[in-house]
A and B are shown apart, each in its own frame.
Chain A
Amino acid sequence: QKEVEQNSGPLSVPEGAIASLNCTYSDRGSQSFFWYRQYSGKSPELIMFIYSNGDKEDGRFTAQLNKASQYVSLLIRDSQPSDSATYLCAVTTSGTYKYIFGTGTRLKVLA
């Protein structure tokens, strides 16, 4: 069964620190990788997506993909209390556009 795994947390970091969120996936043929943020009671909002090995930066966020090791990570620099949310990793399975979601990591940024 194709799986996407995340540590459920909570991951607590002080304000201003770097938060590092990790995600591993089992399907070696996965093509596309997405990070969504979900506040409690709300729907997910797209943070970043990455298709190729390496790093992709967007403002305070950096996505890192390593297909050989089958993991994707999200770094949040200068973490703010407003970043406190659940971060969902989603992976498209080979040959489809469907997402498989991880269970999410709850991030708490302490003021």
Chain B
Amino acid sequence: GAVVSQHPSWVICKSGTSVKIECRSLDFQATTMFWYRQFPKQSLMLMATSNEGSKATYEQGVEKDKFLINHASLTLSTLTVTSAHPEDSSFYICSARDVSNQPQHFGDGTRLSIL
């Protein structure tokens, strides 16, 4: 149980393109989803926390107008990187949690490369 699916797994696109990443909880209802970014040889950095039906809460230093998060249902959250530039190239990982105090389960991640 507790499977989180993330799509796409790999994106290569030109600078200025907007990229949408989907995160789905397949066998449970995710009351909260989290979006992380991981640069090479570094740990995961939380970008934002998303609760179904409400606005995402962004961490300090993360531009909410650049990283648009939508959590329209209990099984789906999306992250859109708008007007992506090479410095946005990174490994983006979502996670989901169902009830309080339960572990977060991670998607497989999306490797984003902006040329």
Contacts and interface: CB of A to CB of B under 8 A. Distances in A.
Contacts of B93: 43-44
B108 A42 contact: yes
Interface stretch (B67-75, B81-89, B97-105): B97-105
Interface residues of B, number: 20
B114 interface: no
Contact of A88 (B43, B46, B105, B111): B43
Contact of B103 (A34, A102, A104): A34
B43 A104 contact: yes
Interface string B36-80: 000000111010010000000000000000000000000000000
A88 B44 contact: yes
A86 to B, nearest CB: 9
Nearest to A8: B41
Interface in A7-66: 31-32, 34, 36, 41-46, 49, 51
B109 A43 contact: yes
A1 to B, nearest CB: 11
A2 interface: no
B103 A49 contact: yes
Contacts of B111: 41
Nearest to A47: B103
B34 to A, nearest CB: 7
Nearest to B44: A101
Contacts of B107: 43
Contact of A46 (B6, B105, B109): B105
Given A98-B49, A101-B43, A101-B44, 19 more contacts: A31-B101, A32-B101, A34-B103, A34-B104, A41-B111, A43-B107, A44-B44, A45-B106, A46-B103, A51-B101, A88-B44, A90-B104, A97-B32, A97-B97, A98-B34, A99-B34, A99-B46, A103-B42, A103-B43
7 contacts: A34-B103, A44-B106, A45-B106, A46-B104, A97-B100, A99-B46, A103-B43
When A and B form their complex, which 3 residue pairs have the shortest distance between CB atoms, in order from nearest?
Answer: A43-B109, A43-B106, A103-B43
Interface of B: 6, 32, 34, 42-44, 46, 49, 93, 97, 100-101, 103-109, 111
